[in-house]
Amino acid sequence: MKYNNTLGTNFNNDRFSLKKLILVITMACIIFMSCGNKNDGSVTKPESKSSIAPLFNNSIVSTKIDFIKSSDPDAFLNLSYKGQEKKEMPDSRSNQLFDQNTYVFEAIFTDNIKIEIWVHSSFASTSVAQQYASKVAGPLGKLPNLMRTKINHIVLLKGDGTNSSEDEGGFIILYSDKIDTRIVNNDLEETVFHESAHVSFDIPYVKSGNTWKQLQTNDNNNFITVYAKNNPNREDLAEFALFAYTMIVHPNRLSSEIEDWVETNNPNRLAFFKTIFK
């Protein structure tokens, strides 16, 4: 009997084709399963990109922007003198904490908030002390109510020094020379806002929990000022708050270029402050 070689060849070819088919199916399954593992229900972070340069050196002195105008609503009502008392008057230039004869004034606002303004005895007279207390009372009146409620008192020191704040004590420290300079440069309202932002927001959002740090991360660690970038855990919130407040409460007061930059590079921080300044 003669062997049919054609039948054997066809059978071998079929086996070879079947192996190829199985191999293709197997590879497809492996690829499909591998791709599926990358999206197993977890949130995929967007592809990271390099941070971009800040817009300004700092929010107040280097911008020349009139964030808070003299024509803006002012809740300041009146200022009264309460006398001289012993007060804690911390001064970075001195180790002496207490001042025995501090001039004490009380600023009253239309929302029934009262803030004491403590003026160091080195101002030497009630009239001069009241003059400087009055200079600060107006900018306090332009703060949003929620920030004004967080301030316990103001410390006014004579001479030149670095303006600062104490969030735990709920007060800000201002120096007379800086006050006069900021008035000339139309920056005093912004200075009071910046220091008040520390008092209002640092403890709940920067020092407690991870709220602000997460917003920075979500914004790809882009910072609007060099000062904020160099001090991300201390100054970024207060620096950005001034831009956010102006955009939210006074839209179009900033240039379109600045607003576009913020919306593009700090959208998460901006969204956060919209819940506060709404």
pLDDT digits (tens, 9 = 90+) for 208-218: 989 999 999 99
Give the Cα separation of 179 and 135 in Å (integer): 8
pTM of the model: 0.82
| Maximum Cα interatomic distance, the chain, rounded to a whole number of Å | 133
Can you list the residues of the chain whose pLDDT is less than 70?
A: 1-49
pLDDT given at position 2: 33
Are 155 and 173 in contact by the 8 Å Cβ rule? The answer is yes
Non-local CB neighbours of 93 within 8 Å, separated by 6+ positions: 159, 161
pLDDT of residue 209: 84
Strand order in the sheet with 153-157: 76-88, 98-109, 114-119, 153-157, 171-175, 164-166
- HSE-CB at 227 with a 13 A cutoff on CA atoms is 15
Residue 244, token pair as written in the block: 């956010």
**Is 245:277 a contact under the CB 8 Å cutoff?**
yes
Using the CB atoms, write b or e for 56-67: b if 16+ within 10 Å: bebbbeebebeb
